[in-house]
Amino acid sequence: MGKKINASAINGTAGVPDQNKIPDLYAAHVSPGKVDLYRKYGLVLVPGKRGGCILRSIDGKSYYNCHCNGGVFNLGHRNARVIGALTSALRTYDIGNHHLISGPRARLAAMLADTMPRGLTQTVFGVGGGEAVDLGIKLARGVTGRHEIISARGGYHGHTGFALATGDKKYRERFGPMAPGFRQVPFNSTEALKRAVSAKTAAVIFETVPATAGILVPDRGFFTEAQRICRAAGALLIIDEIQTGFGRTGKLWGFEHFNVTPDIVTLGKGMSGGIYPISATVFHERFAPFFKKDPFIHISTFGGSEVGCQTAIEVLSISREQKFLDHVLRMGGLFKRGLQEMGEQSPGLGLQVRGLGLMMGMKFKDETTALFLVKVLFDNGIYVVYSGNDPSVIQFLPPLIITEQEGDRVLRRIEKSFRQMAGTK
């Protein structure tokens, strides 16, 4: 660890890089901690070729990507339509200049407005999800003149400034004092929310289905009531759709399941099509004067790059199609039934399946079972991760373009893994 390795030193015969040495180079110059961890648990995966649902490691093993980096690969790896949109954008555009007026930004923002509840017509673009959340919180504080922000215990909104302050202690305690005014409440508890929201509250921010907390699907009435509580106190409701957006739950926006109109919505991950990073903070037009007064109060040089906007326009066109959303719901149903049946066949695992559409979680009887299964699944060619704030839950987010045939293959591999785990073979 820490020992410098020259990039050319990993070259093997005839100057061709020896792929097996990449983890060493990565450990020396990027992240020794990750390499140590993955080596320790036999989970070393250096992605090589990839396409659709499949991620191939450089040593030739194939994995079904059933995490998709929290929705980045909703449309699969290297989706041809998305690549086509980027390639074609590159003939005309580049990153663009955030000082100037931009056609691609204007078109994408108008398209987003068309898909959002009435009034949510305004968009500011960013590069990553944390940035979109930071801006949502800045805006809420700016327009309300209040500073208190309430978020969910176990929730996750990113590792940037204000986003980090909404999250759990373990992510922030080593970075000194955070911005004041942040507090957490249990998710899905209207009673706790009622007690926490006051005349000092600028905003309440929740993920629609908190992923890091363990894929928690709230009660049907939760968001309606949360919105009522916020409105009564003059606080704003920010909904983080960074994982649940772009069709992941079987609706274009996850909050559409819950009869709620957020004041601010944050988007990221899947918006990129897995090809070009971009994020967005969409907000109600009644807050537009805030930016009108000072259009340079928030700046992101690369936010909403023009080639990124052109790419995201294609992503949104694909994701909003009813046929596409129906497919997500159908596949979600197939996986849910399949996994439940397998759970019943291996009762020792204590499996509970939960989720919305293809935003799914497999909760096992304890953390050890889930962690062990991540490895068994990996060895059987299924790539998944567990929830950081509840490791007894494996996040199961296959690409939304997965076919029934591929779904069946995935289920067979999971079945095999469950049997191996249960020791029944």
Ligand X SMILES: Cc1ncc(COP(=O)(O)O)c(C=O)c1O
| Binding interface with ligand X (CB under 6 A) | 70, 128-130, 133, 156-158, 207, 211, 240, 242-243, 268
Cβ proximity to ligand X: between 28 and 359 the closer is 359
Distance of alpha carbon 424 from its chain centroid, rounded? 35
Cβ proximity to ligand X: between 283 and 418 the closer is 283
How many whole angstroms separate alpha carbon 57 and alpha carbon 63?
8
Tell me which residue of 342, 316, 315, 310 sits closest to 408, measured CA to CA: 342
> Which H or E run contains 93?
none
How many whole angstroms separate alpha carbon 105 and alpha carbon 305?
8
152: Cβ contacts below 8 Å, ≥ 6 apart:
184, 185, 186, 187, 206, 207, 210, 213
Residue for token digits 């949510």? 120
Cβ proximity to ligand X: between 156 and 182 the closer is 156
Cβ proximity to ligand X: between 104 and 158 the closer is 158
Q: How far is the CB of 170 from ligand X (least distance, A)?
A: 15
Query: What number of other Cβ atoms are within 10 A of residue 107's Cβ?
Result: 14
Tell me which residue of 50, 79, 60, 59 sits closest to 19, measured CA to CA: 59
Q: How far is the CB of 126 from ligand X (least distance, A)?
A: 9
How many whole angstroms separate alpha carbon 165 and alpha carbon 183?
9
Q: How far is the CB of 40 from ligand X (least distance, A)?
A: 23
Cβ proximity to ligand X: between 255 and 418 the closer is 255
For residue 353, the cross-strand partners are 362
Cβ proximity to ligand X: between 158 and 218 the closer is 158
Q: How far is the CB of 112 from ligand X (least distance, A)?
A: 17
Cβ proximity to ligand X: between 201 and 243 the closer is 243
Strands 62-65 and 54-57: antiparallel
Distance of alpha carbon 367 from its chain centroid, rounded? 22
Q: How far is the CB of 177 from ligand X (least distance, A)?
A: 22
Cβ proximity to ligand X: between 23 and 155 the closer is 155
Q: How far is the CB of 14 from ligand X (least distance, A)?
A: 39
- What is the length of the chain? 425
Q: How far is the CB of 240 from ligand X (least distance, A)?
A: 5
Query: What number of other Cβ atoms are within 10 A of residue 87's Cβ?
Result: 13
Residue nearest to ligand X (CB): 129
> Which H or E run contains 266?
strand 264-267
Q: How far is the CB of 159 from ligand X (least distance, A)?
A: 7
Side-chain-side CA neighbours of 318 within 13 Å: the count stands at 24
